[in-house]
């Protein structure tokens, strides 16, 4: 075998290795994409509303309640005290409450925040609806049902609860007119 033949053989082996490596990478990427899609579909089709049954405590009144027992419709917002987008959304909710009798619940999903921080937030801005610390089990169930972005306060996530089901509202701060429109659409 001469040098030219060895070089050609080496090139063929190198090409085969690159092709095999590339195929391996593609398989891993496709498997990852399938897993993510499958998780998103599972989150969209999982109809378990167990999170609606979890006992919560209103930070201001110490009243215990479950979201399922509240008068419908209910707007549930996940938030954190440190989040300016959340405060903006809550100011929009406050204005919305002036023209609507829709029940609202704000769930603090930041595990580093406590009742005292939430009460300071309520007092500072004059909010007057239910605020509760979301237990980690509730946050996990929300993530399972609606995807991980439901626990990302800066995107202003909200859920509408109706007599016949629940529906995640579009991300972003929603002015009173948009909240009214979404409530009228129902679930």
Across the strands, what pairs with 56? 65
Is the model's pLDDT at 58 over the cut of 70? Answer: yes
Mean of pLDDT over the chain: 83
Own/partner pairs, 166-170, CB within 8 angstroms, 24+ separation: 166/49, 166/52
Picking from 118, 111, 142, 141, the residue whose alpha carbon sits closest to that of residue 62 is: 118
Look at residue 34 and tell me whether its pLDDT is greater than 50: no
Q: Do the beta carbons of residue 75 and residue 156 sit within 8 Å?
A: no
- pLDDT score at 38: 46
Round to whole Å and give the CA distance between 36 and 130.
Answer: 34
pLDDT for 15 equals 56
Question: What pLDDT score does 7 carry?
Answer: 64
The pLDDT score that the predictor gives to residue 3 is: 72
- Model confidence at 47, in pLDDT bands (50, 70, 90)? very low
Q: Report CA dihedral (122, 126, 128, 131) to the nearest 10 degrees.
A: -10
Query: What confidence tens digit (pLDDT) does each residue in 108-151 have?
Result: 999 999 999 999 999 999 999 999 999 999 999 999 999 999 99
Residue range 70-89: mean pLDDT, rounded: 97
């Amino acid at each position: 075998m001469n040098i030219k033949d060895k070089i050609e053989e080496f090139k063929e082996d190198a090409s085969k290795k690159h092709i095999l490596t590339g195929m391996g990478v593609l398989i891993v990427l496709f498997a990852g994409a399938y897993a993510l899609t499958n998780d998103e579909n599972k989150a969209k089709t999982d109809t378990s509303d167990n999170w609606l049954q979890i006992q919560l405590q209103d930070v201001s009144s110490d009243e215990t309640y479950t979201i399922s027992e509240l008068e419908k419709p209910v707007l549930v917002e996940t938030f954190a005290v440190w989040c300016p987008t959340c405060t903006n959304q809550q100011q929009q909710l406050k204005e919305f409450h002036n023209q609507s009798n829709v029940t609202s619940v704000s769930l603090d999903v930041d595990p580093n925040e406590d009742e005292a921080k939430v009460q300071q937030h309520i007092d500072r801005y004059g909010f007057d609806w239910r605020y509760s610390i979301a237990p980690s089990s509730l946050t996990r169930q929300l993530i399972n049902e609606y995807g991980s972005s439901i626990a990302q306060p800066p995107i202003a996530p909200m859920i509408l609860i109706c007599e016949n089901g629940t529906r995640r509202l579009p991300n972003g701060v929603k002015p009173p007119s948009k909240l009214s429109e979404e409530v009228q659409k129902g679930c």
